[in-house]
Amino acid sequence: MGAFARATLPELRLGLDQLDAATSCEMLRRPETGLVMLRGRIGGVGAPFNVGEATVTRAVMRLATGETGFSYVLGRDKEKARLAALADALWQQDTMRAAVEQRLVRPVKARLAAEEQRRAAQAAATKVEFFAMARGED
Amino acid sequence: MYVAVKGGEQAIDNAHRLMAHRRRGDSSVAEITPDQVDGQLALAVDRVMGEGSLYDRELAALAIKQARGDLIEAIFLVRAYRTTLPRFGYSEPLDTGAMAIARRISAAFKDLPGGQILGPTFDYTHRLIDFVLAAGSEPPVPAEAHSAQMPKMPRVASLLDEEGLIERPESEESSKPVGDLTRDPLTFPAERDLRLQNLARGDEGYLLALAYSTQRGYGRNHPFAGEIRFGDVEVEFMAEELGFTVPLGTVALTECEMVNQFRGTAEAPPQFTSGYGLVLGQCERKAMSMALVDRALRAREFGEDVRAPAQDEEFVLSHSDNVQATGFVEHLKLPHYVDFQSELGLIRQLRREHFERAAQGDAEQRREAAE
């Protein structure tokens, strides 16, 4: 579900197209946008407190074969939530799981890893060594 | 007092049409898109998310466009929008220790484990207007380090804590419910969780001024920027119907931990105290100000005299919200005609009485002089 939540809408569309699953499915819960209150911790490690909310969209899809897929994704994109729930349902089908992993999960994870790598490399290039100037004698 | 009025529909419609026209600006110049606002005025978007108290970049960018760049108006729009949505629940507490670091600095330790990562910052720029930007030009490609393995970035406070040098918040989960200002109105005295929620959505300029006042001596607390970090943090949510936590994606956060003046008692050895700031998006000035004000508001907890405005929680927390503030200040421009009519009547009567008394006094004086 993590990879589906992080996938872009084009990634979900492309991956699901490639799966070519003749999917008859029904929407158990129409995509719905709501709020999740984000919590931090005092001092980063202490008791929780509420920082602010985020928009989240969720959906539930059921395949004709009975598997139920869920999605919870940041943002307000209802189509993305619907497709992420569908992908989650397909992933639960034993016959489809490997294909879903290959066509959807892996490309998304690869993109995220590459982005993460690039961001980390860019951040690391801004690492400084400060030399303190001693005051007084010497 | 504001009294409802009727009429003026046509004028109001026309005023809004005129405003929409002015918002578009010169039609020979390309119209700005929310994508452009998001990408190129990213820090304005961050501010609207933080003070709108709603993490949604696209929505904040659109609000900025709609508000013609008036950020408090944009924050108002975002706050109004959030009231239309159902609340799914609360996230698991965000783990800022596991942040994908884009920036991380400490003004207390030069050589801290993990190093000083400047990231994208205005610090150390000369603040000279860059006329090249007016012409439009492709920026140079960012430099990339060869070994892109990010080292571990332990918290500065945890380093100090190893020697017991700093007071730390209790980490065990308490059964006490977490206060939520969006559910229950603020009451005083307010616990630290509620104070931090209030400050996290408070006005940046207001917090900056209060923080500055503590530095100038109004509730001085001798701060060091122990650590400031900015980057992405994964959000996890406990989905009741699934019975397990699900990852929702990542949000960008700015965190600041101030290391403040130490205290000790006959029983407890001296320890640094701390103030904490956590803000949605990239907003370092706000996170730092929040940490300074958080520390000032802990005066009661540390047995310090509450003398300065920044230490007075009722004053600080009651005036931090710029949507409330702008609502009350700006309502003064709505029709107060009936109220003002009664004031007019009163002041005319008082003046009449004044002049009558004066005239009477003059007459008496003249009579006395004549006698």
From the list B171, B178, B208, B243, the residue with the least C-alpha distance to B316 is B208
Q: pLDDT category, A138, cuts 50, 70, 90?
A: very low
Interface test with B, best of A1, A42, A88, A91 (most B CBs within 10 A): A42
For residue B313, name the pLDDT band (cuts at 50, 70, 90). very high
pLDDT of residue B151: 80
Q: What is the pLDDT of residue A135?
A: 64
For residue B154, cis peptide bond before it (omega within 30 degrees of 0): no
At residue A136, the pLDDT reads 57
Q: Which of B285, B289, B314, B278 shows the shortest CA–CA distance to B211?
A: B289
Q: How far is CA A26 from CA A16, A56, A82, A90, A108, in A?
A: 16, 21, 11, 13, 25
Nearest residue in chain A measured CA to CA from B234: A2
Best mutation site among A72, A118, A131 for testing chain B: the one with the most B CBs within 10 Å? Answer: A72
Token digits for B137? 């030009």
Are A49 and B179 a contacting pair at CB < 8 A?
A: yes
Strand ranges in chain B using DSSP code E only, listed in sequence order? 54-55, 87-93, 100-105, 116-117, 224-239, 244-263, 271-280
According to the model, what pLDDT value does residue B152 have? 85
The answer to whether A127 contacts B58, with C-beta atoms less than 8 Å apart, is no
Q: Which sign, positive or negative, has the C-alpha torsion B127, B74, B312, B254? A: negative
What's chain B's average pLDDT?
93
For residue B63, list chain A residues with Cβ-Cβ distance below 8 A: none
How are beta strands A48-63 and B54-55 bridged, if at all? parallel
| Cross-chain Cβ contact B93/A41 below 8 Å | yes
A85 touches chain B (CB under 8 A): no
pLDDT at B146: 83
- Structure confidence at residue B7 (pLDDT): 79
CB contact under 8 A, B55 and A45: no
Q: At what angle do helices B42-52 and B204-215 cross, to 10 degrees?
A: 90
- For residue A33, list chain B residues with Cβ-Cβ distance below 8 A: 85
pLDDT bracket for residue B142 (50, 70, 90)? very high
A70-74, B172-176, B334-338: segment of lowest average pLDDT: B172-176
Q: How far is A111 from chain B (nearest CA, A)?
A: 14
Closest partner residue to B248 (CB to CB) among A33, A36, A53 is A36
Q: Is A130 in Cβ contact with B201 (below 8 Å)?
A: no
Dist. CA B272–CA B293, nearest whole Å: 16
* Residue A128 at interface with chain B, using a CB cutoff of 8 Å: yes
Collect all residues of chain A within an 8 Å Cβ-Cβ radius of residue B279: 51
pLDDT at B171: 63
Q: Is the separation of the CB atoms in B226 and B274 below 8 Å?
A: yes
Cα–Cα distance, A108 to A92 (Å, whole number): 18
Taking an 8 Å cut-off on Cβ atoms, the answer to whether B144 and A118 are in contact is yes
* Among A38, A39, A81, A36, CA closest to A60: A81
The Cα of B91 is separated from the nearest Cα of chain A by a number of Å equal to 5
With contacts defined as CB-CB under 8 Å, which chain B residues touch A54? 54-56, 91, 235, 248, 251
Of all residues in chain A, the one with the smallest CA distance to B55 is A54
Closest by CA to A89, choosing from A17, A28, A31, A30, is A28
Give pLDDT tens digits for B299-312: 999 989 999 999 99
| pLDDT tens-place string over residues B315-340 | 999 999 999 999 999 999 988 888 89
| pLDDT at residue A23, as a whole number | 67
Distance CA B121, CA B124 (A): 8
Question: Is 80 exceeded by the pLDDT of residue A132?
Answer: no
Beta bridge partners of B257: B227, B276
Number of alpha helices (DSSP H) and beta strands (DSSP E) in chain B: 13, 7
pLDDT on residue B2: 67
B240-245 average pLDDT score: 90
pLDDT at A130 over 60: yes
What are B252's two structure tokens?
A: 């960008």
Give the rounded percent of residues in chain B with a pLDDT score beyond 70.
98
The minimum CA-CA distance between B209 and chain A, rounded to whole Å, is: 21
Band of pLDDT at residue B66, cut at 50, 70 and 90: very high
Q: Scanning every residue of chain B, which has its alpha carbon at the shortest distance from the alpha carbon of A6? A: B249
Residue B18: pLDDT over 60 = yes
Cβ contacts of residue B284 below 8 Å, gap of 6+? B228, B230, B254, B256
Question: Please, which pLDDT band fits residue B370 given cuts at 50, 70 and 90?
Answer: confident
Lowest mean pLDDT of A110-119, B53-62, B88-97, B175-184, name the range.
B175-184
Q: How many CB atoms lie within 10 A of CB B330?
A: 10
